[in-house]
Structures are given as structure tokens and as C-alpha cells.
Amino acid sequence: MDKAQIRAAALQRRKSLTRQQRTDFSRAIITSLFDYLSGQPEPSQNLLIYRSLPSEVATQALLAVDSHRLFAPVTHHHEYMEWHELSETTVWKTGLFGILEPESGDLWDGQQGVTTLLCPLTAFDRSGNRLGMGKGCFDYWLAGQAKHIKQVIGLAFSCQEVAEVPAQNHDVPMDCIITEKEVITCPKR
């Protein structure tokens, strides 16, 4: 199957989850994420998060994290993103792709300490390859920033796993994927 077919099939499986399943699975995923982050020998100071779409793993609980500096993306076009620091006074607006984005906030840069990136996805494989929504936002941005990111963690429902995601040379694989069933550590390349 090509990327479009893999994406369509994975999105259909994700959309077939009931609202209660998404709620329960999201809660389990976020709990596993917190456990995973707290158990690391070199903790991240910065957490690059995202606001989820209705059918994705719900990330609203991440906004309450006070153990990390939180940043969320603002997408100006498919090849350009910047990350704004969040606070209790952050004002959210609907961005370019219909996703909530911070209206302002200090910008993240790679010199601000150890950083973990949480990324959305539509499909993943156990090698750490991911498919997004097809716009390339995370891929283009991450290709230029990977040296400043300690780890890339995908948040997904187990039904989004596929045997193989076609990867290109510029794609940066995830270090792990957290589902409602397990934390999948991906092989280093």
C-alpha cells in the first residue's frame, strides 16, 4: 500500500473507536507518558506538545503539567512551524489547519535545555516511522531541528499500528510510541 492508502485505513480504524474508548485509551496513554518521562535518567526541561483533534489521543491533560516548560506549535505553512511557550494565560486561536494554537508566548529554541517532542500521527510502525496528516509540517520542521531534540515520542492508539510505513531519507524516526497497551521503544538508527 502507498502512504495515502495506509493513512486512510489507519484514520478509519481510529475513527471507529467509540468516544468512551478514546477517552479511556487517552487517559492510559497520558498516564504511561508521565511514568515514562519521570523514569528517565536525564529529564527534559522542555516539552513540545500539541492540541489534539477530536479523533486523536486527547492531549488536554498535558496543559496541566508543571514539571516542564511547555511549548505548542504555530504553523504558518506546511514547511514552517514555531513553538510558543504556554502559560496559564495562554490565549488559543484556530490555526491554519483547524488546530488550536497559542496566540503568543516566548519562542522555543534548541539552546533552552533538554527537549522532548510529542508528535501526533495517523499511522506508525515498530521501527519508529510515522505518517501524519500528509501536510509534512512535523517532518519538515523536525528534519531541521532533530539535533536539538532529545527524543521524539508518538502518541497513538494501538489500532494505528501498521506493518510498515514507507519512510524517506529526510524522515526522522520516533524514539518511542506510547499506546494504551504499551510503550514501544524503537530501534536506534
Q: What is the CATH number of the domain that holds 14?
A: 3.40.50.10420
- Pairwise CA distance, residues 50 & 58, whole Å: 10
Phi-psi region of 83 (alpha: psi -120 to 50; beta: other; left: phi over 0): beta
Q: What is the pLDDT of residue 6?
A: 95
Give the residue, 83 or 95, on which the prediction is more confident: 83
Report the mean per-residue pLDDT for the chain.
91
H or E element at residue 130: strand 130-131
Q: What is the pLDDT of residue 55?
A: 93
Q: What is the pLDDT of residue 138?
A: 80
Give the residue, 170 or 150, on which the prediction is more confident: 150
What is the tens place of the pLDDT at every residue in 89-143?
999 999 877 889 999 999 999 888 899 999 989 999 999 999 987 666 788 888 8
Work out the percent of the chain whose per-residue pLDDT is above 90.
71
Model confidence band, residue 181 (pLDDT cutoffs 50, 70, 90): very high
Q: From the centroid of its chain, how far is CA 109? A: 18
Strands 69-77 and 80-85: antiparallel
Model confidence band, residue 79 (pLDDT cutoffs 50, 70, 90): low
Strands 130-131 and 123-124: antiparallel
**Average pLDDT over every residue of 39-57:** 92
Does position 27 have pLDDT exceeding 90, yes or no? Answer: yes
Bridge partners of 107, per DSSP, are: 84
For the full predicted model, state whether its pTM sits above 0.85: yes
Q: What is the pLDDT of residue 91?
A: 95
Contacts of 132 (CB under 8 A, 6+ apart): 119, 120, 121, 122, 138, 139
Q: What is the pLDDT of residue 169?
A: 79
- Pairwise CA distance, residues 15 & 110, whole Å: 35
73 CB-side CA count, 13 A: 24
Tell me which residue of 23, 6, 22 sits closest to 14, measured CA to CA. 22
Does position 81 have pLDDT exceeding 90, yes or no? Answer: no
**Average pLDDT over every residue of 144-168:** 93
Q: What is the pLDDT of residue 75?
A: 86
Domains held by the chain: number: 1
Does position 11 have pLDDT exceeding 90, yes or no? Answer: yes
* Cβ–Cβ < 8 Å for 45, 69: yes
- Pairwise CA distance, residues 65 & 121, whole Å: 22
**Structural domain harbouring 107:** 3-185
